[in-house]
Amino acid sequence: MKRFRLACFFLTPAACLLSCAVSQNNAGHGGTEIAAPETAGAPGTVNVSGTAEAEILLDGMSDSEILAQTFMFGWQGAQPSPLILEWVRTRRIGGVKVFGWNAQNLETLAGTVAALQEAAIASPLGIPLLVATDQEGGIVRHVKGSTSDTPGNMAIGASAYPEDAYRSGFYIGRELSLLGINMNFAPVVDLATRRDSQLIGPRSFGADPVNAGILGAAFMKGQAAAGIISTAKHFPGHGDTSLDSHGTLPRIAAGENTLWERELVPYRIMVKEGLPAIMSGHLAFPDTPAGERPASLSSWFLNDTLRTRMGYRGLVITDDLLMYGAVQAGGNLANTAKEALLAGNDMILVSTTPELYSLFWTSLLESMRNETEFKRRVREAAGRILVLKLGYLENTTLVPDTQKLKELPDPEGAAFFRDLAARSVTLINGESSLPLTPEAAGRVLLAGQYAAFFSAGLKAYPGSAIYSFEDSGGAAEFRRMASNADTIIFCLADDEGQRLLEAAKNPGKRVIVISALNPVYVDGISRVDAALAVYSYSADSFNAAFSALLGRFVPAGRLP
């Protein structure tokens, strides 16, 4: 109960009651139907003054300007392309997305964001851009450079403290704000339901839906305190599939009731807390009324379930429409975008920049001018975008100051993330084998694939031999080197490493596993003396793991 009381500190009374009710239901205490929140004044609803201001803005906009607000585009290269600048200046699109290929140099990125935002503000209506990225923490960090390399969501789930989620969101958000980024496609609230999921894995807070909702809400509040708009993803849930929706359309065998009591629980909690934005996933759930339609193109998911049943009033943005599953479902990009808007999405994300007069634009504008229902839907969507901007961007520094980039990484954040890495270290088995001093370890072989693992290992056990997966001669070379060691410390992060360790039987050798990323691979190893889990490949995570191995602290994390 101590952890649950801590969790409730971060939640409104309504959300706290919801998390308690769902937790009891999942524990076998019978079904609990949660009513949709009241419209007037409830968390997750738009405020009346913002809606009125948005309506005034909409009345002064042309059809093309209203339509363009529903677009968020990416661009190639570090500098803003002439094409993306033209979309901002003449079409006045609603947002841009920063990908990893745009963020190789942070000073250049800040200049690019400044140029794009200044072009938007210089328009007659002066409507700023939503500037988004994927800075989830852990293994997904599109803006690198001197930003914090954090332990990630599963480490937060292992520590089990909502304050860790709050502060992670806050420090990640504070760094993004320095770069002029005002929207983060995080937190990921997909559940760790499918153990072999390569796409989600350590990006998840864990398998428990109530914990994921509580931690997601705390992360969201931390980002809000830093002036960042949170976007929970991937609605309704990407955890129960081993497939990657970037390359195919995953079909998940979960019915309506299962989704309501499992995948949708984090969203139900976060909606009560005022979640500003949700990303719809390109995922099919054939056992629901949506059938084979991707959730991102399904009005049953986005209107009937999300808006009507759950009472959500915030923004819905698609995952990238160029992903295979979405384009296949719609036939072409213009058709897919139209179907996505009609299904209930408010903003269309496209990872590249369409040509100004491509079918994508001309077809949608023609529908806007000639189809009453489509025009109504686009106006509604643009209204939500404007309400979000009025609520979040009025008091935000839109144009970044490159002089402030020297504040990266956030010094307070750096200390916090080191502590989080230590709090999240999880002893899976082998308590009696710890601590392992250098004297007791004898001759050590470090086997792994990450430079940070070897760096931390050599500090802990100076003079160790190194076997690198990437530079090695395969299993025979590993067996040869292992035969000369007393202790093997093996970094296990995938099924390839699992096969190598299992094939290279080393009787009489002490075997210590440090699991990085998804800890499920430890299950496939028949004999280890001890196994510790960390949940990222950051230097902080590996330093924490070796510190625990040396006995500098007792690992207290739990498998999430």
Whole-number Å distance between alpha carbons of 351 and 71: 11
E strand residue ranges, 24-134: 71-73, 95-98, 130-133
Q: Please choose, from the candidates 483, 481, 490, 486, the residue with its C-alpha nearest in 3D space to the C-alpha of residue 531.
A: 490
Contact 419, 541 (CB under 8 A): no
User: For 373-387, b where at least 16 C-beta lie within 10 A, e where not — what string?
Assistant: ebbebbbebbbbbbb
Burial 425-448, CB ≥16 within 10 A → b, else e? bbbbebeebbebeeeebeebbbbb
What are the beta bridge partners of residue 511?
A: 488
Catalytic site residues?
Answer: 246, 319
Torsion angle (degrees, nearest 10) of CA 138, 268, 271, 147: 0
Query: d(Cα 429, Cα 155) in Å, to the nearest integer?
Result: 18
Question: In the numeric block, which tokens belong to residue 156?
Answer: 């937060």
Q: Give the N- to C-terminal CA distance of the chain in Å, as an integer.
A: 17
64 is written with which tokens?
Answer: 């093309």
- Alpha carbon of residue 525 to chain centroid: 30
Whether the CB-CB separation of 70 and 382 falls below 8 Å is answered with yes
- For the CA atoms of 406, 411, 412, 416, the dihedral, rounded to the nearest 10 degrees, stands at 130
Task: Give CA–CA dist 217/215, Å, rounded.
Answer: 5
Count the alpha carbons within 13 Å of 501 in the hemisphere toward its beta carbon.
30
Decide: helix, strand or coil at residue 460.
helix
Spatial separation of the C-alpha atoms in residues 532 and 543, rounded to whole Å? 12
Q: Residue 37 has what DSSP assignment? A: P
